[in-house]
Chains A and B, each alone.
Chain A
Amino acid sequence: MNTRNPLAAALVLAVAIPALAAGPAQASSDEVRRTGSCTGSANVKIKAKHDDGRIDIEAEVDSNRNGQVWRWSLRHNGDLSYRGKARTVAPSGSFTIERRTLNAAGVDSFKFRAKHRPSGQVCVVRVKL
């Protein structure tokens, strides 16, 4: 690429810098969204954002089947913060977990894990903020 042309250089910078900075998908300047992986056909994703000195976490599992009971857990910096059971509901056959955690010093890492025992499906998603 010929970068001696100032116009071309500016064009390259204008396109390249935002693309490099974007990284993971973001809905706002602070919110971070991640998509995880499941052993079956289900999908899992997580959103994290700072809010009023705390971190809001929202995790969603979409199995396309209504009425499934999943066990889930949320770990914060490796320690278990919350866990429970949730049932997928219509219309999409999904469930959503919303929790608010402390904003610990340094980077906060979260791991959301969900398991549907009858089918053996396991979903895991991680996010750092």
Chain B
Amino acid sequence: MARITMLLRSPVAQFLATGLLTLAVLLVGTAVLNTRTAHEKSLLDARAYTKLLAGSVAEPAIPTKLVEGNQGARDRFDEVTRKFLKVGGVRRIKLWDATGKIIYSDEEKLIGRTFELGDDELEILHSPNGGTDAEPTDLDSPENEYEPDVEMVEVYAQVHAPDSLGNAGAGPPLLFEAYFSVDSIEKQQTEMIAPFRSITLGALGILVAVATALLWVLTRRVTRAADERERLLRSAASASDAERRRIARDLHDGVVQDLAGSTFTLSALAREASGPERAVLLETCDSLRASLRGLRSLLVEIHPPDLSADSLPAALQDLIAPAEATGVRATVDVSGGRGATGETVALVWRVAQEAVRNTLRHARAAALSVVVRDQGDRVVLEVTDDGVGFDPAAVRTDVHYGLRGLDSLVRDSGGTLLVRSAPGTGTTIRLETGA
């Protein structure tokens, strides 16, 4: 699960996913546009094809007596239809006269029947320039009662019957109608689109592949740079930690011991003294003890103690020690985290340290509570004050930089860090992390 999460956070994976999604959207978009264009082109082709059939094949082949209903003329035109007209996706041929009578159809049951012609058909029939029209076939129309239940497109074009002398195209106008199956048109569309689809898919695929490779290289460089920076930071932190540890040790072994000894000596003197001297000595002892507490808190801040689940309550007590000096009523309540790992305890302590420090510096609070408890298999830390509060959305980065810095640490450990605050309502910092 963690590996999958890490993979999903990878910029390369995110780019690849975004790229593929974009590619899919582009493909769908171009497919829709291509299909629409190809459909229009196919219809135009069907109209052009019908016009060509009508003018070049049908009209010269119309027998003189076809209009009169001569059976022999029908047979001869039927032969032309079978051989030369019902090709290239043409499913049906009809030849209408101006009254709406079908004078020929390859469906012989329609021959001689009369149907009402639509305005578009009449316009083509009577147009001096001919023209064509294409429309979807209405299978419910009586003239289509013998058509199979498949989608078709019917295309009309004007032709002329021969005159009485047999001169082709010199007689009255007729309406030539050809039916195309939508399947054949869609097949034509597919053939038309396929090359463009390959080009689009190939180009975009190559683009995504090249960009992914470049991003992978860049990511590796950035990751290496980040690793190097982290190594340097760790080295710096380690050096700083060693320096702080040395300072803390020197203070503890030197100044603190000296002060403790001096306090002990003065206490002994105070016990033997009397009068005003005794009072001065006792006051000096109190002052020295306060200084000792302050120093210990400072030592804790300079270098955290060796933390464990058992020592966490005492470490937190040391953290809030300076609160008393600033007039803040501080409490620590540790009921959880007994079985927590060293890393979890350190995280709890560091967040508590930052939160307590912020409260004492900025909150002007009267009360501060630090609570550590268990919630299922999680450890929860809540540092709450009743101070002035603030708007987390408008927080100055320099003021709360410490908590912001800890946030990434908390997230890396699989925990969450919440800041609940508003002007005048105090502040609660809540950490929840695995034990």
Residues of A within 8 A of B (CB): 53-54, 75-82, 99-105
Find chain A residues with CB under 8 A from B76 CB.
81-82
B45 at the interface (CB under 8 A from A): no
Interface size grouping (class) on chain B: 10 to 19
Are A79 and B108 in contact, CB atoms less than 8 angstroms apart? no
Residue in contact with A100 in the complex, picked from B65, B71, B73, B79, CB distance below 8 Å: B79
Are B71 and A79 in contact, CB atoms less than 8 angstroms apart? yes
Distance to closest chain B CB from A104 (angstroms): 6
B424 at the interface (CB under 8 A from A): no
B339 at the interface (CB under 8 A from A): no
Q: Which chain B residue shows the least CB distance to A75?
A: B72
Q: How far is the CA of A78 from the CA of B72 in the complex (A)?
A: 8
Those of B26-80 within 8 Å (CB) of chain A = 65, 70-76, 78-79
Are B108 and A82 in contact, CB atoms less than 8 angstroms apart? no
Q: How many A-B contacts if CB must be within 8 Å?
A: 41
Q: How far is the CA of A62 from the CA of B208 in the complex (A)?
A: 78
Are B108 and A53 in contact, CB atoms less than 8 angstroms apart? yes
Distance to closest chain A CB from B104 (angstroms): 9
In the complex where A53-B108, A102-B108, A103-B108 touch, is A79 in contact with B73 (Cβ < 8 A)? yes
State the majority secondary structure of interface residues on A: strand
Distance to closest chain A CB from B198 (angstroms): 40
Are A102 and B70 in contact, CB atoms less than 8 angstroms apart? no
Distance to closest chain A CB from B108 (angstroms): 5
Find chain A residues with CB under 8 A from B82 CB.
100
Chosen A-B contacts, 30 in total, with CB atoms closer than 8 Å, are: A53-B108, A54-B78, A75-B72, A76-B71, A76-B75, A77-B71, A78-B71, A79-B65, A79-B71, A79-B73, A81-B72, A81-B76, A82-B72, A82-B76, A99-B75, A100-B78, A100-B79, A101-B75, A101-B78, A102-B71, A102-B74, A102-B78, A102-B108, A102-B111, A103-B108, A104-B74, A104-B108, A104-B111, A105-B108, A105-B109
In the complex where A102-B108, A104-B108 touch, is A79 in contact with B79 (Cβ < 8 A)? no
For the complex of A and B, 7 pairs with smallest distance between CB atoms: A79-B72, A81-B72, A81-B75, A79-B71, A101-B75, A80-B72, A77-B71
In the complex where A53-B108, A104-B108 touch, is A76 in contact with B72 (Cβ < 8 A)? yes
Q: How far is the CA of A101 from the CA of B74 in the complex (A)?
A: 8
Q: How far is the CA of A112 from the CA of B139 in the complex (A)?
A: 40
Distance to closest chain B CB from A74 (angstroms): 8
Q: Which chain A residue shows the least CB distance to B69?
A: A79
Are A82 and B71 in contact, CB atoms less than 8 angstroms apart? no
Find chain B residues with CB under 8 A from A104 CB.
71, 74, 108, 111
Most buried by A among B65, B72, B108: B72
Q: How far is the CA of A77 from the CA of B70 in the complex (A)?
A: 9
Q: Which chain B residue shows the least CB distance to A55?
A: B75
Find chain B residues with CB under 8 A from A103 CB.
108
Q: How far is the CA of A80 from the CA of B74 in the complex (A)?
A: 10
Distance to closest chain A CB from B245 (angstroms): 103
Q: Which chain A residue shows the least CB distance to B65?
A: A79
Q: How far is the CA of A44 from the CA of B53 in the complex (A)?
A: 39
